[in-house]
Each structure stands twice: as C-alpha cells, then as structure tokens.
Amino acid sequence: MQYPADIKIIRVPCTGKVDVIHILRAFEKGADGVYVVGCMEGDCHFNAGNFRARKRVEQAARILDVIGVGGERVRMYNLSSSEGPLFAKYAVEMDEKIRELGPNPIKLPKKSAA
C-alpha cells in the first residue's frame, strides 16, 4: 500500500480536535491542500467529533474562498481505521486534485517577501 510522499500526516486523538485555526495555519505555513480523515459518520468514539470536524472544514473552506486561496483545497473524508487501501486512495485523490489546482497562491508572494 502506497500513498503520495508529499502528504504530511498530523495525528490527532479525534478529528473533533481539529479546529478552523489549525487548517488556516497549515495554509499560512504554505500547505497546498489540507484534508481531514475522520471515522465513519455515526462511528465516532466521542459521538460527534467527526461531525464537528466536517463543520469546521466547511467553515475553513468558506474563509479560504473569501480570501482567494480557494475552498476546494480543503476537504473532509470518512473511513474506518481498518480501511488502509481506501486511505491510500483518498490520499491519491487529494494529491491529484491539489496538483490540478496548483500551488497555494500565497506561496509565491511569501517567497518573494522573504
């Protein structure tokens, strides 16, 4: 099982821990895309963690749209912990999607500013 090497995994105890600011900071630091992988809906050990994460992903997408970075760069996926191949499939899907969109538009001005 393989997935694209340029994906950096940040582990959290539950996707309910992921907040809008975490997603925005990732983009601010130059990430081209962010996706949150939570448990299947209805299977959250903490009842609503993955639903909260989905809402926050949607909020982050709205903000990214407003500021022109692009809300389609952030996405929520759900799978169960035993679905390794599906995890890899989603990683490839997201990687392809982001390659289509190109780099994070704040990257170039950021480089020239530095």
Partner 1 sequence: MIVADKKPIEEIIEEIGDHKNVLILGCNECVTVCEAGGKKEVGILASALRMYFLKEGKDVKIDEITLERQCDHEYLEEIRDGIDQYDAVVSLACGVGVQFTAEKYHATPVYPGVNTCFLGATEERGLWTERCQACGQCILAKTGGICPVSRCAKRLFNGPCGGSTRGSCEINKEVDCAWQLIIDRMKDLERLDDYEQLSPLKDWSTDRAGGPRKVVREDVQQ
Among 78, 79, 70, residue whose Cα is nearest residue 97: 70
How far apart are the C-alpha atoms of 111 and 114, rounded to whole Å? Answer: 5
Q: How many Cβ atoms are within 10 Å of 38's Cβ, its own excluded?
A: 23
Cβ neighbors of 114 (< 8 A, separation 6 or more) are none
Residue whose tokens read 């895309």: 33
Query: Least distance to partner 1 from the beta carbon of 113, Å?
Result: 7
The footprint of partner 1 on residues 29-58 (CB under 8 A) is none
If one asks whether residue 110 binds partner 1 (CB under 8 A), the answer comes out as yes
If one asks whether residue 17 binds partner 1 (CB under 8 A), the answer comes out as no
Of 21 and 40, nearer to partner 1 (C-beta) is 21
Q: How many residues bind partner 1 (CB under 8 A)?
A: 17
- Region of 10-18, 20-28, 40-48, 91-99 interacting with partner 1 (CB under 8 A): 20-28
Query: Least distance to partner 1 from the beta carbon of 60, Å?
Result: 9
Of 2 and 111, nearer to partner 1 (C-beta) is 111
How far apart are the C-alpha atoms of 60 and 73, rounded to whole Å? Answer: 10
How far apart are the C-alpha atoms of 31 and 102, rounded to whole Å? Answer: 11
Task: Write out the residues near partner 1 by the rule CB under 8 A.
Answer: 19-21, 24-25, 27-28, 63, 66-69, 105-106, 109-110, 113
